[in-house]
Amino acid sequence: MDVVIYHNPACGTSRNTLALIRHVGIEPHVIEYLKTPPSRALVASFVQRMGGGVRDLLREKGTPYAELGLGDPTLTDDQLLDAIEAHPILMNRPLVVSPLGVKLCRPSEVVLDLLPAEGLKPFTKEDGEVVVDANGRRIRG
């Protein structure tokens, strides 16, 4: 299965998502999106595949979100895409693309919706939270 993760190694949620992908035996294409941001057109296609709006991908914490006035509900998707293009940090992470769809994987276990379900092995996140139990059952997400 071909999987791409738009990743920030400084983010625990992103690290846990990457670990879950690898845990099921998939070595994804890892794109550090702050070093290699996706194009505006690619971000727009992700949003379309997710079935939401650009606002669903915006990150507030640790970004120029407030200074840019991005909380203004009258801003269009095109204006929000302009902001993400100019400031890639505004795109929330991790964003995962697989043949099963595109999702913002917050919390990290959401990535399991995009991966093969059979044969899950136990998995515990960095913080000790169990995501997949000893019987291969998802605990949350």
Question: What is the chain's length?
Answer: 141
Q: What is the pTM of this model?
A: 0.91
pLDDT of 49-76, one tens digit each?
999 899 999 999 999 999 999 999 999 9
pLDDT of 94-126, one tens digit each?
999 999 999 999 999 999 999 987 878 899 999
Confirm whether 105 is a catalytic residue. no
Q: List the catalytic residue out of 3, 11, 24, 54.
A: 11
Peptide bond into 64 cis (omega under 30): no
